[in-house]
Structure 1
Amino acid sequence: MHAPATTAPAPSPPGTRPSALHRTGAFCARHPLSVIAVWLLVLAAALLGSKTVGATYSDEVSLPGSHTQTGADLLEASDPALADPNGKIVFHVDSGTVSGHGDGLDAALDRLRDLPRVTAVSEPVTSTDGATAYVTVSFDEDIKSLGSTYVGRLDDATAPARHAGIDVGYGGDLHDIARAPANDVAGEAVGIGTALVVLLLAFGSVAAALMPLTTALISVGVGTGVVGIVAGTLTFATSAPTLALMIGLGVGIDYALFLTTRFRQDVIDGYDTETAVGRTTAGSGKAVLIAAVTVAVALLSLYACGLSMIGRLGLAATTAVLITALAALTLVPAALGLVGHRVDRLRVRRPVAETAGDDDGWHRYARVVARRPATFLTAGLALVVLCAIPLFALRLGHIDDGADPVGSTTRHAYDWMAEADGDGFGPGANGTFTVVVDLGGATRSADQVADELANALAKTDGVARVTKPQPTRDGKLLVTTVTPTTGPQTAETADLFETLTDRTLPDILADTGTHAHLTGSTAGQLEFRDTVTERLPVIIGIVLVCAFLLLMVVFRSLVIPLKAVVLNLLTTGASYGVLVAVFQWGWGDRLLGMSEPVPIESYVPMMMFAIVFGLSMDYEIFLLSRIAEEWHTGHDNQKAVGKGLSLTGRVITCAALIMTAVFLSFTGSPTVVVKMLALGLAISVILDATVVRLVLVPSLMFLLGRANWWLPAWLDRRLPHLTV
């Protein structure tokens, strides 16, 4: 434990009433056991509630007015059975034919027809050599709502085929329940363990290291529990709980770290426990509150894209962030009050103060940058731009079952269907298009339209097969299936989609008085990609404007927010570039457990932009608030920057290392989208906390000098005052 300072801390001016945050922190410090007990009760209630409400998660996207949605609606209105959710069950033998293995296949099909929720089982479609066959199984409710336990029923039903020596795989939309549930426990343990090591090195004591970790785990448990409860009413995407856990754990540890660091310094300076906790909550707590609100605004801006699935992903992450911020303002002060001056007990090394004075390493580093700011700026920009170069090859798409782990039932089904040379149905069989022709107002007979449609589709480049167009029961529609020559996640299949919707179908039906719509899962994913690409600039614009306005009000400058916006754009671009190199080009993808290169999932860039911008504002606010404080107290620009780096450099570096470790731990997830988000966020955080905060920001501030703080007087008078 540190000896108190030789001079007593200055008391508050007479008549000064402590702020609400100060009073909140002091109250929690006086009643630590009660506050901690309340949080533990809330944790238990949240986890229990999430298990009892029946949460639902689905990646199904609705695009009202789109080709795919219109086609699906026409099918459901004309023949509801055609619109039933369905998936494929694939049967395969390594030698001989499926039909040559006794009656195992027939027995399996009979059992499948008797399963609850099954409305129809098609006749088997067999490959040329007879080694592979598949059936389409239709259900009377969304497949995902059947739950993973339904796979056991499917296994029981197909057991006769397996006993006859026939391998079985589940494909199509059955992957929603057939994929092994994500088990990220091992990865999370690695991330938490790494965070603990960093905290031990940062604080030098077990007590100080365990507090941020323990409080973060409690708050993130509450956050994920609340997300699960909300999921009983709102349907979240399948990655929502993992995203909430990942973001909540990262910011939860960071926020607690910032408060614990400030508290330790006040203890070193001689304040009693209650006063130190109150000061900590009033000071760093306010910065945490503003940072959390900034992250929340960035995440909630995702609703502006008009896609509920994307908006709700932002809502799930926002819920976790706000709950961890609330814990930072109540639970952390309670824990600090409970530990008090014993914060440095159980030492692993000698604890040190947060700054060593005007000649510490950070001040010396600042002087080095000040001597050659242009050199540091050029080097930092070169590194970030180099990372961003692959961004220009970015290709958005949907990750199909071909990226599932080798040996999984969904991967088996995909590979058997895709095998060429007569041993399957070709890669396009995993991502067919359904063409729906509305015959209302037709000027030709249905047979004539069907013949012209089939002939034109068969001649289209990239089409492997076309089924004969068939009328629906009421005769209002023609329906045909188009099989591409390439797999669903390839650029060629995306080009075929555009060719069919923009040229082939309009040209074929131009003089027939009919209209065609392309629908099905693959078409829906491609149309979703196009919609996300179109609306991404809206999200970027909203986030940039909000960040600019916040920083302008806080730091009373036009230059600082402009610099922050530009640098954060560069950081985001660099993280996008790394994703393209790793996932799309396949550089090092084996290290992440990937079996093949994949496109960037269509909504990942939008999600990453909002999250990265929100998180980067945390470090921006913590660093610049200290620099601004020194500047406004009369120090010159170089002194202010050096002091700001000295006071925040170590804690920001530790926070970034912790958040990076947490994010990287999720790259072990079996879900490819989670891998992408985890790696992208880890790269952006480490670049932001090192290259941006420690190189680009100080070098630019040295070059700009007094211009950093330029704000027109007329604007200064009209802006509200908000300090950190």
Structure 2
Amino acid sequence: MSTYEAGTGRRGRLLRLGEWCARHCVVVLVLWLLALGGLHVLQSAFGGTYSDDFDLSGTQSSTGADLLRAHDPAAGGTGAQVVLHDAQKPLTDVSGQVDQVVGNLEKLPHVLSAQNPLPSSSSASSTSLSKDGKTGYITVRFDVNPTSLDDSYLDRVDTAVKPLRSAGVQVEYGGPLGELARPETKDFTSEAIGFAVAVVVLLIGFGSVIAAGMPLVTALIAVIVGVSCLGLLAALTTFASVSPTLATMIGLGVGIDYALFLITRHRQLVMDGDDPVRAAGRAVATSGRAVLVSGCTVVVALAGLYVSRVGFIGKLGAAAAVTVVTAVLGALTLVPALLGLAGRRIDRFRVRPPVAEAGAGAGVEQQGGWHRYARRVERRPWWFLLAGAVVVGVLAIPLFSIRLGHIDDGADPTSFTDRRAFDLVSTAFGPGANGPFTLVVDQRSVPDADRSALASNLEKALTDVPGAASVGALQPTSDDALLVGTAVSKDAPQDAGTADLFKRLKDDVLPEGVSGTAADGYVTGTTAAQEDFLAIIAARLPGSSRSWWVSPSSSS
């Protein structure tokens, strides 16, 4: 009796599992198809949505946002823009429709305030209206991140702004509201190209259509099951919008890889004369053990992202781990079932002579190009080590000039409303207006007699700040607890100049303005929260300080 049959440990269990799945292939396939269809139906009915709403508790931008919510709710929350543009006439000609739209927006659920861009009188001016009067934006503040809302809410926003669109005014949505309005991605060209390349590589590697198709089919089924499970989990907790894409990429990669291990071993055993069912069991007992260990290792590595202590990052790892688990399950059950179903016909449709992991018999020299390459490495290891180090070093050169940052709406296609809003605001007000900083000074601990001196010092510190296109005067909140103002960068939100301005305001300008008092200064807003997020990543992930990171929208 072989050790595979006699083993009582993991190998024995894996052997019995592989043989059972191969022998009862129809049952296993039906169970997988039921899981595929059932989970997809459940996900469609009860699954959650993905949102880039995350919390940065403890950061200065989060503290500033919390203060705003507590002392000036209308200025707190998550800000978005409804951008208005009329190329033919000034917006003051449709002031009635503008007033109506502002009122409609204020009545929507989750809206804290909506700021009218038109001046209250003919002699007044507005920072939300361009000099020619043809472009303006309504600043809408929400008590939640709009990206966490569903499409039906967007329909209500469309209804609210309909009077302006009916009057011929172009209306676009900027910021998080624009992200909610982004169309679903339906262009799968890149995925199709990757899938086609995988087919060609597998055909070259296996030389058989059936053998090449199995890894793709099993990995695809396992990933769809995993993504459906992820959708159900999204109903319980918030996952970032990139989570299903990341989970799909990693799940397909490991799923194809794990199936390759098993199919290669199985084909060789069949070539050596084993019964297909027996060969499938032995493949699961040997290569399947490597698959199980590898899958567990990948899951543990992904769970290690929680070491960053950033929930958003940790959940990305958790999302990918879901499809890794389903890929392992697919490799250990679905693959042997398909191998049992194919039997000895696995190499029936050949594009070239089939190749497996054939080994030389006792006393016979191994042949082949890879064997000769391995022998060369064995004879001159230091030369190959040095060559490899040089290649890796050359490939790593760009790392030293990569800047940590986020991508703003200006990188989106012009078919997206947030990109059109971004361009309109940039043209009329300057690129920095797409990502203003909100300055918050907490003066609750400052005696009333000293507050005028504090305001004077802050005004002096905020004059001619390098990199700032404008800095608005700080205004007290209704309860006189805070001083609030706005700073606009000369550069776009993703540019290095904006990041430099943020650091200058946070580390130099505001501390100088409140020095000698008990007041505290904060820089908040969406762009500020993104910068704080990047700082956290740089501090908590070793080696990430020079890595490019695409930051999602913040809840601040």
Which residue of the partner structure matches residue 546 of structure 1?
none
Aligned equivalents of 1:192, 1:176: Cα separation in 2: 29
1:107 Cα deviation after fit = 4.6
1:429 to 433, 436, 442: 433
Which residue of the partner structure matches residue 536 of structure 2?
531
Which residue of the partner structure matches residue 120 of structure 2?
none
Aligned equivalents of 2:47, 2:290: Cα separation in 1: 37
Change beyond 3 A, Cα 1:15–1:63: closer
2:526 to 498, 504, 521: 521
Change beyond 3 A, Cα 1:56–1:445: farther
Spell out, residue by residue over 1:149-197, the C-alpha distance to the aligned partner (whole angstroms, 9 max, x if none): 4333333333333343322211122133022223353432332232222
Which residue of the partner structure matches residue 450 of structure 1?
455
1:299 Cα deviation after fit = 0.8
Which residue of the partner structure matches residue 92 of structure 1?
85
Matched, 1:289 2:297: no
Change beyond 3 A, Cα 1:116–1:500: closer
Query: Which deviates further from its counterpart, 390-399 or 168-177?
Result: 168-177
Matched, 1:179 2:182: yes
Amino acid at match of 2:412: D
2:375 to 358, 367, 375: 367
Amino acid at match of 1:213: L
Aligned equivalents of 2:293, 2:250: Cα separation in 1: 17
Which residue of the partner structure matches residue 589 of structure 1?
none
1:51-450 → structure 2 map (5 Å cutoff): 51-100=44-93, 104-124=97-117, 125-355=128-358, 357=360, 358-419=366-427, 424-443=428-447, 444-450=449-455
Aligned equivalents of 2:5, 2:178: Cα separation in 1: 68
1:642-681 → structure 2 map (5 Å cutoff): none
1:215 Cα deviation after fit = 1.1
1:92/1:168 contact within 8 Å kept: yes
Aligned equivalents of 2:139, 2:312: Cα separation in 1: 27
Change beyond 3 A, Cα 1:331–1:483: same
1:532/1:602 contact within 8 Å kept: no
Spell out, residue by residue over 1:234-291, the C-alpha distance to the aligned partner (whole angstroms, 9 max, x if none): 1111101111111111111111111111100000011112221111001110111111
Provide structure 2 residue ranges, at least 5 long, that are not aligned to the other structure: 118-127, 361-365
SS state of the match for residue 522, structure 2? strand
1:265/1:353 contact within 8 Å kept: yes
1:203/1:209 contact within 8 Å kept: yes
Amino acid at match of 1:437: V
Aligned equivalents of 2:274, 2:336: Cα separation in 1: 15
- More helix per residue: 1 or 2? 1
1:411 Cα deviation after fit = 0.8
1:437/1:478 contact within 8 Å kept: yes
Aligned equivalents of 2:183, 2:370: Cα separation in 1: 48
2:407/2:551 contact within 8 Å kept: no
Which residue of the partner structure matches residue 125 of structure 2?
none
1:437/1:517 contact within 8 Å kept: yes
Change beyond 3 A, Cα 1:69–1:139: closer
Amino acid at match of 1:425: F
Spell out, residue by residue over 1:393-451, the C-alpha distance to the aligned partner (whole angstroms, 9 max, x if none): 121111111111124211111111112xxxx1111111111111111220444444334
1:146 Cα deviation after fit = 2.2
Aligned equivalents of 2:183, 2:463: Cα separation in 1: 38
SS state of the match for residue 323, structure 1? helix
Aligned equivalents of 1:536, 1:298: Cα separation in 2: 14
Change beyond 3 A, Cα 1:32–1:76: same
- Number of equivalenced pairs: 535
Amino acid at match of 1:376: F
C-alpha RMSD of matched pairs (Å)? 2.5
Which residue of the partner structure matches residue 33 of structure 2?
40
Query: Which deviates further from its counterpart, 513-522 or 347-356?
Result: 347-356
Aligned equivalents of 1:337, 1:203: Cα separation in 2: 18
Which residue of the partner structure matches residue 620 of structure 1?
none
Provide structure 1 residue ranges, at least 5 long, that are not aligned to the other structure: 1-9, 541-572, 581-598, 604-670, 672-724
1:68 Cα deviation after fit = 1.0
TM-score calculated relative to the size of structure 1: 0.70
Which residue of the partner structure matches residue 12 of structure 2?
19
Aligned equivalents of 1:227, 1:122: Cα separation in 2: 39
Amino acid at match of 1:361: G
Query: Which deviates further from its counterpart, 372-381 or 501-510?
Result: 372-381
SS state of the match for residue 187, structure 1? helix
Amino acid at match of 2:444: G
Amino acid at match of 1:391: L
Which residue of the partner structure matches residue 561 of structure 1?
none
**Identity fraction in percent:** 47
Amino acid at match of 2:505: L
2:99/2:116 contact within 8 Å kept: no
Aligned equivalents of 2:233, 2:331: Cα separation in 1: 22
1:459 Cα deviation after fit = 2.4
Which residue of the partner structure matches residue 647 of structure 1?
none
Amino acid at match of 2:319: A
1:150/1:177 contact within 8 Å kept: no
1:97 Cα deviation after fit = 2.7
2:39/2:225 contact within 8 Å kept: yes
Aligned equivalents of 2:181, 2:549: Cα separation in 1: 23
Aligned equivalents of 2:304, 2:225: Cα separation in 1: 23
Spell out, residue by residue over 1:634-686, the C-alpha distance to the aligned partner (whole angstroms, 9 max, x if none): xxxxxxxxxxxxxxxxxxxxxxxxxxxxxxxxxxxxx9xxxxxxxxxxxxxxx
1:54 Cα deviation after fit = 4.2
Aligned equivalents of 1:373, 1:304: Cα separation in 2: 36
